[in-house]
Structure 1
Amino acid sequence: MNPGPVTAPAALSGKLITPDDSRYRTYRSTYTTVGSPAVVAVPESAGDVAAALLLARDRGLAVAVRSGGHGLSGRGTNNGGLVIDLRRMNDVTVLDRSRRLVRVEAGARWAQVAQALSPHGLAISSGDHGNVGVGGLATGGGVGWLVRRFGLTVDRVRAVEVVLADGSLVRADAANEPDLLWVMRGAGAGAGIAVAFEFEALELRNVGYAQIAARVDPAGGLLQRLDAVLKDAPRELTTAVMFSSQGPVTNAFITAVVATDDTRAISDAIDPLLGIGEVTLQQALLTPYTSLVPREHMHVNVGQMPASTTNGLLTEVTPAAGRALVDMVAGPTPLFVQMRSLGGAVAETDPAATAFPHRHQRFLVTASTFPPYGYDDLLRAWKPVEQHTEGAYVNFESNPSQASFDRAYPGAVGTRVAALWRRYDPDGVLRPRR
């Protein structure tokens, strides 16, 4: 059905972008998905968000919510519906320096957050790219450069300001709406629109940063040795591995971040990594945390990186899992594969405390294909690795389904998530497809 021209209610005057607006091209899409929404609302307050929801209900428009636009599922846009783009709601405020309590609006990008907190000597672990929006990551999980020291981003959320599907504004914290706080910390997309968060930040200015390149043997022994190092590593050490294959040769490019400015501790944390195999390159330095999520990352999202992505969590790199990973990387389907370390502070959080229950797994493995390869090609390549995984992370799945929901929210967790989505959004206005 063609909804016809969209007339702005008074509250949204000057805050709606339609296809005839010169700005539409830079508001219509996400990083991975080109959309054709009937209208994009760009609110500046929770009241504006509520007005946009009312407009969507009145016009019968499907709703998509966007904080930054890096979301791999593409749910930050749609065709023929209304997109609520939160980019103008981007304030970052230190509420209480002594308690490291920070309020961040959901439309801020993590590069902006890092830069705003740096003069205060504070940081929040926040993914690995400065252009990612706060809202999507902080309601899904948050596996970042400080994850083993800081925990997931959701683990440091102390309160969330949420606009529910009926337009009401609710503050969810441990004393008020604890069920809403629980679901917003890991499965927030189907419960409401987060417009601001209160985080407990980490005392941190500089970090150790190292890059190591190593040859990966066909049996995956290098990955098993990396697993062994991380089992004994200090929680300050977090790693991310990117794989590259050229014919019979597979290389691992390891980024290691040590969440301290103590140079001796940095050296002690990184040195064991140099013994995991045939290291061909290494670089180490002390750098501000802001350099890991710099403002230079911030760019306009116009669907420039179409991709299909899936993921799984590994409890251990067994010999079979290591071989499967190497075989996948070296296989006939070109893939972008990463393996990010977990454990440390992640494992110290009660699995029942948030809607992200995966606490004992030690690695997140993600795989992406790019055109002309599609999602079916990805699944065929991924299948041998999938059998070694246990659970998944909702933010790295580009084709949401009931099966992917069950992997992200297994068993009783999924039952509780679904029930809370129905409670807070009974008409399914915001509910992700699955």
Structure 2
Amino acid sequence: MLRTILHLDLDTFFVSCERLLDSRLNNKPVIVGGTGDRGVVSAASYETRAYGVHSGMPMKMAREICPDAIYIRGNAGTYTKFSKQVTEILQSHVPVLEKSSVDEFYADLTGMDRFFGCYKFASELRTKIIKDSGLPISFGLSINKTVSKVATNEAKPNNQIKIDAGFEKAFLAPLSVKKIPMVGEKTFRTLCNMGIKTVNTVQQMPLEMMQVVFGKNGQIIWQRAQGIDHSPLTQYHERKSISSERTYGQDTIDLTMLKTTLIAMAENLAFQLRRGGKLTSCITVKIRYSDFQTYSKQLKIPYTSADHHLIPKVIELFERLYERRMLIRLVGVRYSALTAGTYQINLFDDEKKTVNLYRAMDDIRIRFGDRSITRAATIGKGAKTIGNFTNPFNGEPPIVLAHRHQ
């Protein structure tokens, strides 16, 4: 049976949320992101696109090429609320939902045609989302995730497209090769240097040539250019979590050691989020006293995967929780209410160099081990046995990052 995959994308999501809160922004050039010169554009309205503004651009450059735009420092809490509202609507109407980011979703409607038309159903669902949330949303409908996602981008702004089965290659052929998911700037430049600018050219190339140039990724790009994508949806579960605990060999009241442990846990769990492409919106801290009484506190936060946003909240929860002043046997940290996403939502108050720093640190951890680079605040006996880490430096100490946010 051919699959029926729906892809939905909230148009210029952060900008649309701001316009919903302030109608004076409608039809005006709006840019959301870090408002300092070192900030980064997180979202730009369609009115700014003609000037060349795009997400990920340094804010200083955006101000130079589009000085008349309205610049807004983003509010992650607001966007999280609207994202959850749309998620709840989708969860109540589709059988299988994948939330690929705060503003992007996939739904598997396979088999629903026997009861009613999938395109009609998707159209009614889109209308309901627009009516209930007030947010514009576009969708693409086809037999797989790749074609549906490309179709959504072609449908924007605030529109919808269905690609009938068997017409995937014809739909993709005239488009820029850059529109194939996973073709980034570097791959696009390489393809251009090979004289390849449209999907049609990739469709006509031998698979072996793409594999020689791009390795395994070459095969994936070639298959997607043909309209082939068998990747399944990852069912969305709001209550997924990751956690870490430590039971001390000897009960302690050493606050320095306790906080060192918690910071190390919070830092490593944040890395696990980023490595898995996840964001959290709920933090829980647990302590168990020497009499085995266990207590916990949790805090709802805007979606994030950044250490310097999460660590202060973990310490804050611990300080609110630790009231009995008794010896502590165990401490733990849990991040829950996870969703797929990237660091983008944190760009409102962080500089691009902060994002690049995280990427560089994570690359080192992936290559050499979780504890190969860490904050100075996590060095000490409180962090000796956080997780099952091995030191790849054969006895040499890990790289230490002295972080002023501590």
TM-score normalised over the length of structure 1: 0.28
Tell me the TM-score normalised to structure 2 length: 0.29
- Looking at secondary structure, tell me which structure has more helix per residue: 2
Query: Which has the higher Rg, Structure 1 or Structure 2?
Result: 2
